[in-house]
């Protein structure tokens, strides 16, 4: 979920027309941006997950509905994601760990942005692959040290990208996606999170 | 991935013995914590995701291997997660959005910690459910406003928890899980993220 500011005329927020490309319906994407620019309340979204404990460290979340564009919306189906801890951390390994989903969220957010931005810039992509690595010292979460943070100490992401444009232009597209990535923003800048328990 | 510091004797990091509970192999969990306390290099983990663009805003990540406990480790299988943008955002809705996976990561991290901590405290759980909501103004990622952040403006989480303990004790378990959650730490405090493009 990112887009490109570069082709925007600041006075009107009108984007230049572009043909569909990279599997992106570029005309509709540009029309959507123009519509939201003219009616900012359409930009207010709320995403949701409902999670259920199964056993041990295994849980499952459902992501079915969200609010956006002024109305309740439904995904095509109620998507599920399972998490567990691996055997080496005394889990049953019924799914990726919670922290691996953070890496997937980052990769998928930047990759979606790259496809959109390339389409808006008229660049046809052939391949986008990335690897994401996160380093974590478990003495934090295991309660062994109060000087070690609970979460990742650093995340490194590396892209391989091929398309009909010079390497510099492809790299600019990656960096523009980073500049407009919701997940990159949350992971690097943090967000207020409240946790409540209901009776 | 969280655990309980409360029963820890600071001098030795030895935990009191506990029977298996909540699907948690409590003796092995406590032995693991004691082993890591005595050999801190075992606590160094690296998690990884490999992502591949499919079409439009659709991509798929594989989470197969990680490093930890002093050696390369493999999940029981190569786990996959797909993401896409929904139709209302010009995607094909082939999976949850990247930002919904952040909510799942948060819920699953705290839920796993709750099960572990309850087991260590001798509390049998019957039910743990949670809902997570994140508010986002898409004028950021759509490039319409530079004053609106790209990511969530706030995340709210609400737990429903039932078990063989008074409500206050169950709430203390939730809050201890929050205090030792890797995902809660990353989302609230942020983490350095580097993005590179390889030729």
Tens-place pLDDT, residues A32-71: 999 999 999 999 999 999 999 999 999 999 999 999 999 9
Q: Which of residues 16-45 of A touch B (CB under 8 A)?
A: 22-25, 28-29, 32-33, 36-37, 40, 43-45
Q: Please state, in angstroms and rounded to a whole number, the distance separating the CA atoms of residues A177 and A118.
A: 10
Query: Does residue B5 have a pLDDT over 50?
Result: no
Q: Please state, in angstroms and rounded to a whole number, the distance separating the CA atoms of residues A105 and B82.
A: 9
CB B199 to CB A167 under 8 A?
A: yes
Q: Please state, in angstroms and rounded to a whole number, the distance separating the CA atoms of residues B116 and B113.
A: 5
The predicted structure's pLDDT at residue B9: 40
How many other C-beta atoms can be found within 10 angstroms of the C-beta atom of residue A158? 14
Q: Please state, in angstroms and rounded to a whole number, the distance separating the CA atoms of residues B175 and B170.
A: 9
Number of CB pairs < 8 Å for A and B? 508
More confident residue, B18 or A151: A151
Number of helices (H), then strands (E), belonging to chain B: the values are: 4, 6
Strand partners, A115: none
The predicted structure's pLDDT at residue A14: 63
Q: What share of chain B in percent tops pLDDT 90?
A: 90
The predicted structure's pLDDT at residue B109: 98
- Mapped onto helix, strand or coil, the DSSP state of residue B185 is helix
How many other C-beta atoms can be found within 10 angstroms of the C-beta atom of residue A37? 20
How many other C-beta atoms can be found within 10 angstroms of the C-beta atom of residue B46? 16
The predicted structure's pLDDT at residue B195: 98
Residue written as tokens 């009107």? A12
Query: Does residue A9 have a pLDDT over 50?
Result: no
Mutate which: A30, A94, A109, vs B, most B CBs within 10 A: A109
Partners of residue B52 in chain A, C-beta under 8 Å? 128-129
Go through B21-39 and write b for each residue having 16 or more CB atoms within 10 A of its CB, e for each that does not. Answer: bbbbbbeebbebbbebbee
The predicted structure's pLDDT at residue A5: 44
Partners of residue B13 in chain A, C-beta under 8 Å? 144
Closest residue on chain B to A140 (Cα): B180
Query: Does residue B30 have a pLDDT over 80?
Result: yes
Q: Please state, in angstroms and rounded to a whole number, the distance separating the CA atoms of residues A107 and B57.
A: 11
pTM of the model: 0.93
Query: Does residue B166 have a pLDDT over 50?
Result: yes
Q: Which of residues 163-182 of B touch A (CB under 8 A)?
A: 167, 170-171, 174-175, 178, 180-182
Report CA-CA distances (Å) from B183 to A185, B67, B78, B101: 15, 18, 22, 11
Give one DSSP letter per residue of B24-92, joined into a string: B-HHHHHHHHHHHHH-GGGGEEEEEEEEEEEETTEEEEEEEEEEETTEEEEEEEEEEEEE---GGGTS-
Q: Is A45 exposed, middle or buried (0-12, 13-18, 19+ CB in 10 A)?
A: buried
The predicted structure's pLDDT at residue B8: 44
The predicted structure's pLDDT at residue A6: 41
The predicted structure's pLDDT at residue A13: 58
The whole-number average pLDDT for the span A143-157 is 97
pLDDT band at B175, cuts 50/70/90?
A: very high
Q: Which of residues 84-123 of B touch A (CB under 8 A)?
A: 84-93, 95-116
Q: What is the mean pLDDT of chain A?
A: 93
The whole-number average pLDDT for the span B96-115 is 98
CB A193 to CB B157 under 8 A?
A: yes
CB B104 to CB A83 under 8 A?
A: yes
The predicted structure's pLDDT at residue A16: 67
Q: What is the mean pLDDT of chain B?
A: 93
| CA B186 to chain centroid | 9
For residue A143, what are its two tokens? 């309660």
More confident residue, A3 or B198: B198
Mutate which: A23, A27, A51, vs B, most B CBs within 10 A: A51
CB–CB of B39/B26 below 8 Å?
Answer: no
CB A155 to CB B89 under 8 A?
A: no
The whole-number average pLDDT for the span A13-18 is 69
Instruction: Dump pLDDT digits (tens) for A122-133.
Output: 999 999 999 999
Mutate which: B143, B154, B189, B196, vs A, most A CBs within 10 A: B143
The predicted structure's pLDDT at residue B105: 99
CA distance, residue A17 to nearest chain B CA (Å)? 16
Rg (CA), chain B: 20
The whole-number average pLDDT for the span B144-172 is 98
For residue A40, what are its two tokens? 């900012």
Closest residue on chain A to B80 (Cα): A96
Which of these, A141, A101, A187, lies nearest to B186 by C-alpha position?
A187
For residue B110, what are its two tokens? 């705290």
CB A61 to CB B108 under 8 A?
A: yes
Mutate which: B138, B176, B192, vs A, most A CBs within 10 A: B138
Query: Does residue A2 have a pLDDT over 50?
Result: no
Q: Please state, in angstroms and rounded to a whole number, the distance separating the CA atoms of residues B24 and B37.
A: 20
């Amino acid at each position: 979920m990112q887009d490109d500011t570069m082709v925007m005329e600041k006075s009107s927020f009108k984007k230049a027309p572009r043909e569909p490309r990279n599997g992106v319906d570029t005309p509709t994407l540009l029309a959507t941006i123009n519509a939201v620019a003219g009616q900012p309340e359409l930009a207010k979204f709320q995403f949701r997950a409902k999670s259920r404990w199964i056993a041990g460290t295994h849980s499952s979340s459902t992501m079915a509905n969200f609010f956006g564009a002024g109305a309740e919306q439904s995904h095509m189906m109620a998507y599920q994601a399972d998490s567990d801890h691996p055997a080496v951390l005394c889990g049953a390994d019924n799914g990726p760990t919670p922290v691996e989903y953070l890496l997937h969220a980052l990769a998928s957010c930047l990759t979606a942005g790259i496809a959109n931005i390339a389409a808006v810039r008229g660049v046809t992509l052939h391949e986008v692959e990335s690897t994401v690595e996160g380093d974590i010292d478990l003495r934090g979460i295991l309660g062994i040290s109060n000087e070690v943070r609970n979460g990742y100490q650093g995340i490194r992401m590396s892209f391989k990208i091929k398309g009909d444009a010079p390497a510099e232009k492809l790299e600019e597209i990656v960096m523009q996606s980073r500049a407009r990535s919701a997940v990159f923003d949350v992971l690097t800048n943090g967000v207020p999170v409240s946790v409540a328990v209901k009776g």
